[in-house]
C-alpha cells in the first residue's frame, strides 16, 4: 500500500507469490546472519536523517548524551 488518494488502494503482488515468499524468507535469514556476528552493531538510529521524532528505544542507547559528548569533544579540538 502507498499513501495518497485514494488511501489504502489495494494492488496485486503479482503472480509469483511463492518467489515473493522465498525472497522474504531469504532476506530475513540474511539479516539474522548479519546480526549474529559480534562486530555487527545494533544501532538505535541507523539512518538519523530518517529517524522519527520520538522512539521508544532511543533513550536506551543514550543517543542524546553521546551527541553532547561528541559536540564537546569537537569544540575542545578547535
Q: How far, CA to CA in Å, does 7 sit from each of 12, 13, 14?
A: 16, 17, 20
Total length of the chain: 78
Digit-coded pLDDT (tens) for 3-36: 677 777 787 877 888 999 999 999 999 999 998 9
* pLDDT value at residue 2: 57
Q: Burial level of 27, CB count in 10 A (0-12/13-18/19+)?
A: exposed
pTM: 0.47
- pLDDT average, residue stretch 42-52: 79
How many C-beta atoms lie closer than 10 Å to residue 51's C-beta?
A: 13
Amino acid at each position: 500500500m502507498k499513501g495518497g488518494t485514494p488511501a489504502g488502494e489495494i494492488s496485486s503482488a503479482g503472480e509469483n507469490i511463492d518467489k515473493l515468499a522465498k525472497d522474504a524468507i531469504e532476506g530475513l535469514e540474511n539479516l539474522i546472519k548479519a546480526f549474529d556476528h559480534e562486530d555487527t552493531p545494533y544501532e538505535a538510529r541507523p539512518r538519523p536523517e530518517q529517524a522519527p521524532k520520538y522512539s521508544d528505544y532511543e533513550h536506551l542507547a543514550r543517543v542524546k548524551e553521546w551527541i553532547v559528548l561528541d559536540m564537546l569533544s569537537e569544540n575542545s579540538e578547535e
